[in-house]
Structure 1
Amino acid sequence: MEQKIVLITGGSSGIGKSIGNFLKTKGFKVYGTTRNLTKYPDFNDFDLLELDVRNTTTINKAVSMLLDKEGRLDVLINNAGVGITGPIEETPHEEILKAFETNFHGPLHMIKAVLPQMRKQRSGLVINITSIAGYMGLPYRGIYSATKSALEITTEALRMETKDFGIQMTNLAPGDFATNIANGRYHAPILDDSPYKEAYGGTLKLINEDVSGGNDPVQVALKVYGIIMAKNPKVHYKVGSFMQKFSIFLKRLLSDKAYEKLLLNHYKL
């Protein structure tokens, strides 16, 4: 069987790196991306390409380099993303736009860059890494939830638009995993004179605890491998703790107000 070529955005650390290392052990040829190659002079887990998902010039250059070398691309994993927390009222709008640029527009730029090659091949798989947070509006994470929800819904449309070309698309929504996402996340400062001071401060503490106490990201890698090996990938996949996945089921089961009360209780609001 011909070796599959995989491109993972945000592959230098966290979930992306775990996915890349695992797929490499399974015989895939893996390329990861990072915004700045000079920060990783000793990275040798797999090949890294310099690419910023917010910059189409870097995307086109990196994709062209990969195709010139390999002649094909079998799997694109849109993993690059940023976190953002804060009261929506107090979150600078430029930070909201930055989050959408990376988490929503970035994957769309990537998909547009690889579709011509996949269409030419009459084959290809796109896996968009979203989030369980994208299934619900979470307090003080509303913008993050919105970026991931937008990608989930857009993927549903893209699946139908590209199915006749032999291209498959799917979403994989992780829960909380132990990565360094909190270090690179934008969070609105807790202001002393803010009406949200106590509620936001307490919620931010809970969010950080959930991430630091998260599961091993290799679980996401295992799920990605299963999706790649599936003959007909589903529209949506979830990976995380039982309660995180169960929260999506509860949202379908409960009334809107009952579910809202459940979230308020969880965040002690």
Structure 2
Amino acid sequence: MSRALHAEWTKLRTEPAARWLLPCIVVATVLVSLFAVAAASCKVGGCGFDPAALSLAGVQLGQAVVVMLAVLAIGGEQGTGLLRTTFTAAPRRIAVLAAKAVLIGGLTLAAGTVAVLGCVAAGRAILPGNGIAAPSLADGPTLRAAVGSVLYLVLIGLLALGVAAAIRDSAASAGAMFALLYTVPLVAAMINDPELQRTLRRFAPMTAGLAIQATTDLDNLPIGPWAGLAVLAAWSAASLLLGALLLHHRDP
């Protein structure tokens, strides 16, 4: 396992795209949060804001960069033919996938932590000037939202890795992930049946997982914060299991 992990780290750190995707996770996440907190105002549109969720709004874009990083770990190798070489050098394909999962999870954890801290700092700096309470990590619900957002990004990376292992095509894997993350909430928003709409939001990976960011009005959520993150974790586990099975039984 250690040899596979070292090999995967060597490949990823020498991949030009990976070197700019990691800082992009931080930049994209923090910039969107900056725009969100700067646009929010108690004087315009009322004061029904959740300071933590508002400050962490950038996670919804940052996850797209995480998806691209995870897809690159397998889909990029498939496109260049490097994946066949990898399996020749390391025939235990499940160990290779496990090494990729540890690597993607660890890198996303590091970048996600920096990004989330930047988002909270942006909220603390800007929201009070707009008449909205500043989020504080000393507050239990806000700390849960921040830690949960980092875990959310890690789980999104693992979900994308499993999808990429199953499809093994960068464009198709990224398309499938973006449809799963962003299209389902759009469909739910267009449905007139409140019960069906609530059900879709409870089990869609993005809407369920992002419930972890809520710190106010929890009774009106389609699913509880930790339960929503558990739904996303189930999606990620199922994706990795499917990817591992197909990776093991399919030709290189």
Q: TM-score range, shorter-chain basis? A: 0.3 to 0.5
Q: Higher strand proportion, which one?
A: 1
